[in-house]
Amino acid sequence: MSTLHLIDHPLIQHKLTLMRRKEASTNSFRRMLGELSTLMAYELTRDFPLQDIEIETPMEKMVGKVIDGKKLALVSILRAGNGFLDGMLNVVPGARIGHIGLYRDPETLKPVEYYFKMPDNMGERDVIVVDPMLATGNSAVAAVQQLKDKCAPKSIKFMCLLAAPEGVKTMQAAHPDVDIYTAAVDRELNDHGYILPGLGDAGDRIFGTK
Ligand code: URA
């Protein structure tokens, strides 16, 4: 069974609460999401393998440790996943970026794929799939399945801002090898697949659409 990691750092919880407020403007929502993504990426990369490189300080030569950023790929589930990217790239600037376009059929709530574009050498990469909302879990399950089928990455983690218990259960059942990282697990889903209390439609709030 995959592990559910609740990232409950006080700074993350504080910003998340401010973002949830319905009166938060697009500008402040986006800014806080950026800050949160940087903090979350810091937590997610905690166990990343390091490699030795030789450097020279002003005093002498030494062997230092660096993360192999070229082997990391962030995969955004369009469109809301894009809201995570800039903030994450603050801490892993060398990461490659992939995109998966899935929309949720409003009737069935099932995901339909319309776009898939990945960096090269995916088989050698550790991948973090990002989508702010793990609601029904259907999109996340489908995105990870597409990734496994088409690219077989070395490892996959899933990062979101908010999760519903239903989404966590669905994701863990479908992909027991994929750990989930979230800032909160909310109460439930409503009949339209929205998280309660949630924060509304993440894409609309990031991009200022309705
Ligand atoms: N997607 C969103 O943007 N919000 C939800 O609450 C659920 C899915």
pLDDT tens across 173-194, in order?
999 999 999 999 999 999 999 9
* Cα 54 to ligand 1 centroid, rounded to whole Å: 46
pLDDT digits (tens, 9 = 90+) for 127-163: 999 999 999 999 999 999 999 999 999 999 999 999 9
ipTM of the complex: 0.95
Q: What pLDDT is attached to residue 94?
A: 87
Q: Cβ distance 17 to 29 under 8 Å?
A: no
Domain assignments of the chain as residue spans, ordered by start: 4-49+69-207
User: Residue 79 pLDDT more than 70?
Assistant: yes
159 is in an annotated binding site: no
Q: Cβ distance 104 to 110 under 8 Å?
A: yes
Mean pLDDT of the region 24-36: 96
* Cα 138 to ligand 1 centroid, rounded to whole Å: 12
Q: What pLDDT is attached to residue 1?
A: 83
Q: H-type helices in the chain, by residue range?
A: 10-20, 26-44, 82-89, 138-151, 165-174, 202-207
User: CB-based contacts of 85: which residues, under 8 Å, 6+ apart?
Assistant: 37, 74, 76, 97, 130
User: Does 137 sit in the ligand 1 pocket, CB within 6 Å?
Assistant: no
CATH topology of domain 4-49+69-207: Rossmann fold (3.40.50)
Q: What pLDDT is attached to residue 69?
A: 59
